[in-house]
Structure 1
Amino acid sequence: MCYMVHGMLGAVERPQAWPSFLHQVREIELGKDRIEGSRLLVVASQANRGATFIAQSVTKQGLMRSYVQNGNSPWLFEFFCQ
């Protein structure tokens, strides 16, 4: 998993060095282009606790249906505000 994450980050930054990820890079770029003013940033997990928490709840707790897509819950809003 860690290799995949580092590979995807490297592929987005330097796609020519990661030819096996070209399809995924194109998909990421298409999604990013649909959101005006968006950009990709690499940050430490401590700086993005909310995303880390959501990712871990899906992978470790098996929550395959994202509760985020179902609407904003008050506790999640508070989590991001803190």
Structure 2
Amino acid sequence: MSVLVKWEPSQYSWVKCNIGVHWRKDIAWGGAAWVLRDSEGKVLLHSRRAFTGLNNLNELKVHVCLWAIDSMVSHKMNRVIFAFDDEMIVGAITRPMAWPSFKAMSSDFSIRLRKIEWWRFLKEDKRRNIGAFLIAQSVTIGERFQSYVAAGYLFWLKDIFENEKCLVSS
């Protein structure tokens, strides 16, 4: 028996920012992406970026989440659900007292998140973040190092985003 794992929508009037990362340890390069969707699953914007000069995957994840938050601020998003697959980072953001070792990191997140009127940070299974993950992976595996922000989704991910949108609608 297989279990269907699909993207989950945000509440009405909120947007959801799925964050994806991919790390190439052999060259110390990281790929990052975020995909912003409305409550019906329609992709509004997406972005990708390469990160260099970092020491490990955990450092990459912190920088990517900060970048995603800054991007939502730049695009003037006010009701954002951030979805990421790392329990440590989500915990440090949502329950900083339970993660005292990450106090400085939590403070960095808190300062940036104050610029968004309403926000939530959720831990979400990588399988529910597949679009953002594949875009991040395209940076490191596909050597697509050009950073950008674009409306809609990438044409080569059409089936993924359209199928998930249909699942939300039904």
TM-score category, normalised to shorter length:
0.5 to 0.7
- How far residue 40 of structure 1 moved from its aligned partner, in angstroms, is 0.8
- What amino acid is the match of 1:12? I
Q: CA RMSD in A?
A: 3.1
- What amino acid is the match of 2:94? E
| CA distance in 1: counterparts of 2:135 and 2:87, whole angstroms | 19
Could you tell me which residue of structure 2 aligns to residue 21 of structure 1? 102
Match of 2:134 among 38, 53, 62: 53
CA contact (8 A) 2:92 2:102 kept: yes
**Unaligned 5+ runs, structure 1:** none
- What amino acid is the match of 1:34? K
Residue 31, structure 1, aligned to residue 112, structure 2: yes
Normalized per residue, the structure richer in strand is 2
Normalized per residue, the structure richer in helix is 1
- How far residue 77 of structure 1 moved from its aligned partner, in angstroms, is 7.5
Q: TM-score normalised to the size of structure 1?
A: 0.58
CA contact (8 A) 2:94 2:121 kept: no
Q: TM-score normalised to the size of structure 2?
A: 0.35
| CA distance in 2: counterparts of 1:27 and 1:7, whole angstroms | 15
Aligned length: 79
Query: Moved runs in structure 1, 4+ residues, more than 6 A?
Result: none
Q: Is 44-53 or 57-66 further displaced after alignment?
A: 57-66
Which structure has more RCO (C-alpha within 8 Å, separation ≥ 6)? 2
- How far residue 66 of structure 1 moved from its aligned partner, in angstroms, is 2.8
- How far residue 39 of structure 1 moved from its aligned partner, in angstroms, is 1.1
CA contact (8 A) 1:58 1:66 kept: no
Residue 9, structure 1, aligned to residue 90, structure 2: yes
Partner secondary structure for residue 54 of structure 1: helix
